[in-house]
Amino acid sequence: TQLLEQSPQFLSIQEGENLTVYCNSSSVFSSLQWYRQEPGEGPVLLVTVVTGGEVKKLKRLTFQFGDARKDSSLHITAAQPGDTGLYLCAGANNDMRFGAGTRLTVKP
Amino acid sequence: DSGVTQTPKHLITATGQRVTLRCSPRSGDLSVYWYQQSLDQGLQFLIQYYNGEERAKGNILERFSAQQFPDLHSELNLSSLELGDSALYFCASSLSEGGYNEQFFGPGTRLTVL
């Protein structure tokens, strides 16, 4: 059983579409991080959110931390093929636990 | 390039064998983390070392052990290997001790147990 549940598990969309992926838990985290992993490589950190309700933007990516610091969402606007990858959320307290990820495919 | 190096990149071995995976953290980072990633389990935290001492343990089997040396590189030892141990093993490093710090991942070692 994953401490962090990510949904959807798989997502395949056309270039230019918008999408939102979710990361949910029953646990409260001191911070939450989002990573992107491409095939054959290690995860790369995209953002860290710390405060409940916090919203961070990274170009076309918008990250939100839930008010209770138990959940988070990642919204991508006008998705591009380069956004293809595995998106992982990770909740941190004394250590860090990862969700199983959302595998996103953006078709040209 | 994250600055974290892992060797070997690929490892193929047989059941019952023992292997050692090696990780060198980014320059200046004191914490090293080991993760196992398989298709059905996602990225599982195994163990963390900080400046040579064990700091946190996750879902690490008793057949697995790790250590961090004075030069801060780390090794993950996997023994009595089983087919189910086939996975990608990642090492990550961070500057300080807390799990909330940004972790920089290495390229991983792909272990195949036949």
To the nearest whole Å, the CA of A98 is away from the closest chain B CA by: 6
The structure tokens listed for B23 are 């990780």
The pLDDT value given to residue A96: 80
Query: pLDDT tens for residues B71-86?
Result: 999 999 999 999 999 9
The structure tokens listed for B10 are 């690929």
Q: Does A39 score more than 90 pLDDT?
A: no
| Partner B contacted by A31 (CB < 8 A) | yes
Query: pLDDT tens for residues B3-49?
Result: 999 999 999 999 999 999 999 999 999 999 999 998 767 788 899 99
DSSP A28-51: --SEEEEEEE-TTS--EEEEEE-S
User: CA dist B60 to A53, A83, B29, B56, Å?
Assistant: 34, 32, 23, 10
Q: Which of B4, B48, B107 sits opposite A95 (nearest CB)?
A: B48
Q: Which of A2, A42, A48 sits opposite B105 (nearest CB)?
A: A42
Better-scored residue on pLDDT, B81 or B102: B81
Distance of CA B66 to the CA centre of its chain: 8
Better-scored residue on pLDDT, B90 or B96: B90
